[in-house]
Amino acid sequence: MPSHLSRRNVLLAGAAAGSALALAAAPAHAHRRPRRLFGRYGSPSARLTSATLYVHPRGAGDFTSLQAAVDAATGTGRTLVVAPGVYRETVSVPADRTDMTWLGASEDPRDVVVVYDNAAGTPKPDGSGAYGTSGSATTTLRPDGFTARRITFANDWLRAGHPGVSGTQAVAVKVMGDRSAFFDCRFLGHQDTLYADSASLDTVARQYFARCYAEGDVDFVFGRATAVFEDCDFRTLVRTDLTSAPFGFVFAPSTAVANPRGFLVTGSRISSEAPDGYYKLARPWVPSSDPTARPMLTVRDTRLGAGIDAVAPYTTMSSGYPWQDQRFAEYRNTGPGAVITVPANRPQLTPAQAATHTRQAWLGDWRPQG
């Protein structure tokens, strides 16, 4: 099994290699052009558009950090082209940066990494307490209309490195805006990796994830957003601090009771580094801030690997809110983790119900272009 430190090494390896490739001069052969620092997206001397800014970790762009570029990109419809590299920083995008786009300049999302290592229990530098779950996020995205392509969002905080910290939630990205889309992105962490949220309890935030990859252990895809995960890969990790099942849970939706649509996972795959049956597919999160929440998750046309406990894939998070009272359902899933041995533990949609559990129904009049 991988060591607990391997996660950080793997995380940084792809980005370091990509950065080296981008910065290295190409051999002086007539038939080979030098690699462009910003790929096919122009440069500061040949901008994609007048609203485009360029980020490069070693000074070849307009800015060396994402936060500096975000601060400068006032208004709406701005684009950040991000060169290969590891951007070790926290980034917060205000709500007024509507319709912002981040483009990873490489064709491989492993080459462009934004990462930090705060956890919920990490003390703030000013002594005002710990960060809390939301405050631990490496990247916080508040605006409507945000789009990211080919970028890795990560939190490489490790439990093993902080044995005295009890708040082990460590968010890679918190997404709050409506019409937020992610194409070919990666989300890396352990607990609470991808926080698909909304700005308030009475706000519906539609989010779309296509061809993405997310990994973690405890509740690593969670929140109250109306989110579609299409053609995505989810991977559960080994726990070196535990010796028995369950190691964790893939999904923890916290859908508001008035919202008819929570998480929809379709045409995707769930695999595992852990032993067979050591992970639950989901548990409902009813937060103290919304005790009326009725979490919703539909997993359909998806391959569930052997890491998922097929006999009892769902479990209750808080007493008084049993998973059976929530809106959990499956349809036409395959793989060893999808085998139905106890029908009462695997609520299934009928074909008529499944016809209404689609990307189009979840996203309404919004058609993200991927």
Q: Is 126 a catalytic residue?
A: no
Q: How far apart are CA 98 and CA 178, in angstroms?
A: 10
If you write DSSP's letter for every residue of 73-125 in order, what string do you get?
A: --SSS-EEEE-SEEEES-EEE-TTSTT-EEEESSSSGGGEEEEE---TTPBPT
| CA dist list (Å): 116 to 56, 86, 330 | 18, 10, 35
CB 321 within 8 A of CB 280: no
The conformation of residue 276, written as its DSSP 8-state character, comes to T
| CA dist list (Å): 22 to 48, 60, 84, 101, 290 | 19, 11, 7, 22, 47
**Which residue in 251, 367, 256 sits closest to 315, CA to CA?**
251
The catalytic residue among 156, 184, 197, 219 is 219
Angle CA 131–135–136, to nearest 5: 80
The catalytic residue among 62, 117, 144, 192 is 192
CB 308 within 8 A of CB 270: yes
Q: Is 71 a catalytic residue?
A: no
| CA dist list (Å): 195 to 39, 89, 178 | 30, 18, 14
Helix or strand holding residue 271 (H, E): strand 269-272
| CA dist list (Å): 94 to 1, 117, 180, 253 | 41, 21, 14, 24
**Which residue in 345, 274, 347, 276 sits closest to 311, CA to CA?**
345
Q: Is 11 helix (H, G, I), strand (E, B) or coil?
A: helix
Asked if residue 246 has a cis previous peptide bond (ω within 30° of 0), the answer is: yes
Q: Is 332 helix (H, G, I), strand (E, B) or coil?
A: coil
Q: How many residues does the chain have?
A: 370
Q: Annotated active-site positions, please?
A: 192, 219
